[in-house]
Structure 1
Amino acid sequence: MKKAAFIFLFMILLTVSFSNNVNAQCAMCTVSAEQSVKNGNTQGKGLNSGILYLLAIPYVLISGIGVLWYLKYRKRTMSYAENL
């Protein structure tokens, strides 16, 4: 189990270390952002930040649920081990 966790963490670290910096925008948002930048506005940066924020919310929620589930499982196995 520890070996699998180590390999998983290594793969995550490898993926993050070699990832490119990208802008998450759909085609319509890209055109809108480019036009606003040409006109001197900075709305494109705010639009990109908003899209990345919306992208991160499900990952944060799923991670939180996973941590709570792990803590509950750990507490249950510790109490079971104490009863033996």
Structure 2
Amino acid sequence: MKQQMKIAILSAVAVLMHVVSFAQCSICSKTASQLGEEAGRGLNGGILYLAAAPFLIISYIGYRWWKNNQD
């Protein structure tokens, strides 16, 4: 039960962090503001696309580790 609660809390945090994921570094925000609305959205999408691969890899490694230690 405790483990299910931890998973539920972590899932909720991951969903709520979606809003924070649209934050940008100062250089990216300046570039996006100069490009305009549509290009800025494209830049945001590109940043999120590039950030997704490391998160997926880390998630897969964590899942495999969790499955192997689950005795």
Instruction: Give the TM-score of the pair, scaled to structure 1.
Output: 0.58
Superposed CA RMSD in Å reads 2.7
Alignment-mate amino acid for residue 23 of structure 2? A
Identity of aligned residues (%): 35
1:10 and 2:45 aligned: no
Quote the residue 2:55 is aligned against: 59
What does the per-residue CA deviation read over 1:27-66, in whole Å, with 9 as the maximum and x for residues that have no partner? Answer: 111111111117xxx2211211111122222110022223
Number of equivalences: 68
Q: Which runs of 5+ in 2 are unaligned?
A: none
Larger Rg: 1
Instruction: Give the TM-score of the pair, scaled to structure 2.
Output: 0.65
Cα–Cα, structure 1 residues 66 and 52, in superposed 2: closer, same or farther, change >3 Å? same
